[in-house]
Structure 1
Amino acid sequence: MIQGTTSDAGKSVLVAGLCRVLKRQGTNVAPFKPQNMALNSAVTPEGGEIGRAQAVQAKAAQLEPHVDMNPILLKPCTDTGAQVIVQGKAVGSMQAIGFKDYKAFTLPKVLESFNRLKRRYDCVVVEGAGSPAEVNLRENDIANMGFAEEADVPVIIIADIDKGGVFAHLYGTLALLSKSEQARVKGFVINRFRGDIGLLEPGLDWLEEKTGKPVLGVLPYIHGFNLEAEDAIVTQPESKQQQRIKVVVPVFPRISNHTDFDPLRLHPDIDFQYVGKGESLQGADLIILPGTKSVRSDLSYLKQQGWESDIKRHLRYGGKVIGICGGYQMLGQSIDDPFGIEGEAGKSQALGLLEQSTKLKQEKTLTNVKGQLNLDGDSVTVSGYEIHVGETSEFSSAPIVLDDGRLDGAISQDNQVFGTYLHGLFDQPKVTETLIKWATGESITSVDHQSVQEHAINQIADAIEAHLDLSIIWPHLSANTNARDKENSVADRV
């Protein structure tokens, strides 16, 4: 099990890399995360919902994603509330379940899924969540040591040196664990190191002496590494030379599935920008409204930021707007939540840019889809996934015809506003090219996002094989990895 000193320490990436390393060695391996709190989710082939990080890890293991890989997914909808998804299906809210009863309710499902994976695969690589040193959460913990103790699994702790304070993070995290928890920690990994490795040697020696735990290795900072983030918004790649098109996405408090935009963010011709609180949407060629877990609340936030005025000004000057999922719902006439699915029950006036109205229902739509996108005379095959509780009135002239016969999305009569429920649109190069041409008139050659993702998985797997001593955990791999000798130089060691 990979646990981290903080969120975004590198747990998700390390699990993905380990899955690929094991797969290269011929091991039948699966990823697992007992509990994930994230607004980026994926739809499994059986129609369940899991965290996107586990879907990426499944790809690293060359598997289809499955709900057992992430049996508990928490999707925050307010500052104090979250939807609880158990083995792929929404079962209620944290308030309804109750904090005191939460572990008793969820842990059996977690162990059930984990044991199914153990029976099916030779190895399961587990990802923790946040930090195991959150002492205030220990009583109900199922995400870190609470799970590790129940399932009796060894643990590696990873820390990000690029954030600073790496030795304090590792030493302090271990110190805050119980004796039995400390005993199951097999070693440390330091992530994202750059600079003179010789300067790190005294710290590595000190850490091993103070804790009695080995440093399994130091992973280098990988330039040009682009693997979609579990939940944090990644702003820009390190450098772009030529940018002909400016695309902006407003960041809502409950923005979801912002991984939709990774192919645009990484495209060399596109100046892609997330726009935050107090900033303007002006100056864009294309504005895209993203998905959201709390559509009426985020619609109100959009208006408070003055973004409605920015959008309408953008349209008056001939600009184009795309809305995806919750962003699509915002483009219509109204959003009605009669059951209080995403907060307080009520009805909100939307932006009025499309003729549709949306009503939130109690059952969530979860499905992977394929179909045909018809736009400005171009017709391209499209695939994606739907995750939404809204039901939006259809246009007979919807731009997307799905293979199951349903219509999806809408386009305004003036051809300036486009909406769809499909996440993952831009993952397909031809669809991206069609949408950018519609929006800007520019012809671009899109990057194959699946190839970018596969390259990133192999990058981290290569780094693991080169820099980590896996023989401590998996002795049978020692012949095929660069095992570390305690008496060797630091360069050999890390």
Structure 2
Amino acid sequence: MKPLTLMVQGTTSDAGKSTLVTGLCRWLARRGVRVAPFKPQNMALNSAVTVDGGEIGRAQAVQAQAAGVAAHTDMNPVLLKPSSDCSAQVIVHGRVAETLDAPCYHARKPMLREAVLASYRRLCATYEVIVVEGAGSPAEINLRAHDIANMGFAEAVDCPVILVADIDRGGVFAHIKGTLALLSGSERDRIGGFVINRFRGDLGLLEPGLDWLEADTGKRVLGVLPYLHGLHLEAEDALPGGRDRGKEGARLRIVVPALPRISNHTDLDPLRLHPEVDLRFVGPDQPVPPADLVILPGTKNTRADLAWLRDQGWEPALARHLRYGGKLIGICGGFQMLGMAIYDPKGLEDAPGSSRGFGWLDLETALQEEKRLARVRGRLAFAEASVTGYEIHMGVSRGRALARPALHVEGRSDGALSEDGQILGTYVHGLFESPEALCALLAWAGMKQATSIDYAAIRETGIERIADAVATHLDADWLQTLVPSRPLSRRSAP
């Protein structure tokens, strides 16, 4: 029996595709359905390490959690990680294939289409339902040739499509009508209905518009999802919106530079959600505010973002911060910046060359072609606190500073802690997710007796809220069509 496949596409980026796929995966999993998420092509700098030792977009890892299965590279066979405005690292089946500019990438699409379909077929052999997330919008006519992300995939596997649109940004009916107008006839026929996302207010005021939309298009509105205030769902790529004023009741101030190629900024979510922490991202041409702790996050282009920090005046600002007793953490690329030098002789991230680091840790880093991908467990070197996380990096660091490690993971040392105890560097992402490590690191930064938060529970609560909204606000009869009428033979998930 062929598994049911449903594709969720959006009228725009950030329309709610990831959210709806997450909610549908959990709704189906609650009913005992073996469901898997799938995104043929993703462009994101937030990624995750899978059970089979590869790398996929972080949104698909969260969707796998919603489905109750282990994240696998087949769930996101093509991942693009931009390293500049014109080029991206291309990851196929979880491993780096090459770095390409846009014209070369589009020329590779026929080959990548085969990789996408191979992953899809493997998922079909194991799961009863595949919920597919599109990328961007299917109406991007300049990207239609050899499309593998939206309608090109839907037509290849002959699956129905649901179109989601965000009413909160305005123009929702124009977005839907405009998208339909730019599709071919067969693509329009494939759309089975619409979902309106992020609605606030009295639904009665919206109903005349919904009636018009159904009459005009001949397609159903399958539901209107409410704006879920305070919802936390890990971002696919974009930074969360900042605050102009400090968080009321905050006991610790943290500042993070919004690097142009910032990656895995989900590392900072436990801090951003902590009730006693005021975390702010500082963008271009903004002054660096006073803080107790500065965090240099991960980046897809370490040398270019290091140059950006210097151009923005961060080097003297960080020196002043340390001189007055502030603490500094560097994660992955941010850790490499803290050393004496960064070497990229093969031009793996940008033009070949080397850069002088900030020089606060006695180590040097050389970028290498082999990317380290690993899930890790360990503990902080300076406190009895467990750490769970993952590594995604191409750099190898060497130097005297590593003799004072920041962590002990998997029977080895990681990172460095400065002799004066002010600066900590690590390659481990997810550093703050363990409640024990979070409290210990906040205490190290100056906040004694910090409130403990369970970030894993917060993430799970967000998934449950979305699934509840799906169950409450989407058409019940349509939802039931997604539940297989008879079980398939049991097989172990990849």
TM-score, normalisation: structure 2 = 0.94
Do structure 1's residue 104 and structure 2's residue 114 form an aligned pair?
no
> In percent, how many aligned pairs have the same letter?
57
Do structure 1's residue 29 and structure 2's residue 32 form an aligned pair?
no
Structure 1 CA distance, aligned partners of 2:456 and 2:242? Answer: 19
What is the one-letter code of the residue matched to 2:275? P
Deviations 1:396-425 (A, max 9, x none): 22121112x321000111111100000001
Superposition map of 1:63-462 within 5 A: 63-95=69-101, 98-236=104-242, 240-375=247-382, 378-393=383-398, 395-403=402-410, 405-462=411-468
Residue 41 of structure 1: aligned partner: 47
Whether the 8 Å contact between 1:236 and 1:265 is mirrored in structure 2 is no
User: What is the DSSP-based 3-state SS (H/G/I as helix, E as strand, rest coil) of the residue aligned with 1:42?
Assistant: strand
Structure 2 unaligned segments of length 5 or more: list them.
Answer: 1-6, 486-494
Return closer, same or farther for 1:93/1:162 CA change in 2, 3 Å cut-off: same
Structure 1 CA distance, aligned partners of 2:139 and 2:453? Answer: 41
Deviations 1:24-76 (A, max 9, x none): 11111000000000000000122100000000000000111000000000000
Return closer, same or farther for 1:278/1:97 CA change in 2, 3 Å cut-off: closer
Whether the 8 Å contact between 1:471 and 1:478 is mirrored in structure 2 is no
Residue 65 of structure 2: aligned partner: 59
Return closer, same or farther for 1:282/1:241 CA change in 2, 3 Å cut-off: closer
User: What is the DSSP-based 3-state SS (H/G/I as helix, E as strand, rest coil) of the residue aligned with 2:385?
Assistant: strand
Whether the 8 Å contact between 2:25 and 2:35 is mirrored in structure 1 is yes
Structure 2 CA distance, aligned partners of 1:412 and 1:419? Answer: 9
Structure 2 CA distance, aligned partners of 1:280 and 1:348? Answer: 24
How many residues matched?
476
What is the one-letter code of the residue matched to 1:303? R
Deviations 1:339-392 (A, max 9, x none): 1000100010010111111000111011111112122xx221111100000000
Structure 2 CA distance, aligned partners of 1:299 and 1:59? Answer: 34
Whether the 8 Å contact between 2:33 and 2:484 is mirrored in structure 1 is no
What is the one-letter code of the residue matched to 1:87? H
Q: Name whichever of 88-97 and 244-253 sits farther off.
A: 88-97
1:478 Cα deviation after fit: 12
What is the one-letter code of the residue matched to 2:449? S
Structure 2 CA distance, aligned partners of 1:415 and 1:239? Answer: 27
Structure 2 CA distance, aligned partners of 1:345 and 1:162? Answer: 44
Whether the 8 Å contact between 2:404 and 2:418 is mirrored in structure 1 is no
Return closer, same or farther for 1:148/1:474 CA change in 2, 3 Å cut-off: farther
What is the one-letter code of the residue matched to 2:296? L
What is the one-letter code of the residue matched to 1:139? A
Structure 2 CA distance, aligned partners of 1:82 and 1:27? Answer: 36
What is the one-letter code of the residue matched to 2:215? E
1:470 Cα deviation after fit: 4.7
Structure 2 CA distance, aligned partners of 1:144 and 1:17? Answer: 20
Structure 1 CA distance, aligned partners of 2:99 and 2:35? Answer: 32
1:97 Cα deviation after fit: 8.5
TM-score, normalisation: structure 1 = 0.94
Structure 1 unaligned segments of length 5 or more: list them.
Answer: 480-494
Whether the 8 Å contact between 1:281 and 1:311 is mirrored in structure 2 is no
Whether the 8 Å contact between 1:246 and 1:271 is mirrored in structure 2 is yes
